[in-house]
Amino acid sequence: MSPDLFADLALAVLAAHIAVIAFNVIGLVIVPIGGALGWRFVRIFWWRALHLALLGVVALQALFGRACFLTLWQAVLETDAGAPASRQPLIARWIESLIFWNLPIGFFAALYVAVLVYAAALWRLVPPERRAARPKA
């Protein structure tokens, strides 16, 4: 495969990573607000379960001292592309500087576990609702 294809795949993984981060952060903010304002969508069970599961995966990876698998995939693809980071589009470099911090994994483990505990507390404070079974005709 060509280096340009690897670079494009690395950017696609970065985009997926950004989407997961946005989903997780927005969920942490919107659930308590939506619960207080009576927004029904913040109580959708599958949405809340997915949110909690993704946060759990992130916290477990950090507790085991592992980088996020999306980060690892992106790094491999960038290496295979053989292009220096400066060849990335400006927006990609800017976003990477926002989401990749050069701090010890212990910091992230503590942060992600705290966020997971917060999300679990939201599960109790703004409980999701399962759909009622439809009556059969």
- Residue at 132 is within a domain: no
pTM across the whole model:
0.76
- Residue at 44 is within a domain: yes
Is the model more confident about 116 or about 69? Answer: 116
- Residue at 104 is within a domain: yes
Euclidean distance between CA atoms 44 and 78, whole angstroms: 37
CA 47 to chain centre: 13
Q: How much of the chain exceeds pLDDT 70, in percent?
A: 83
Q: Which residues of 25-35 are buried (b: 16+ CB within 10 A; e: fewer)?
A: eebeeebeebe
**The pLDDT of residue 69:** 85
- Check whether 2 has a pLDDT greater than 80: no
The 10s digit of each residue's pLDDT in 63-108 is 998 888 888 888 888 887 775 544 555 556 666 677 777 778 888 8
Which residues lie below 8 Å from residue 118, measured CB to CB, with a gap of 6+? 28
**The pLDDT of residue 91:** 57
Quote the number of domains for the chain.
1
Q: Which domain holds residue 20?
A: 3-125
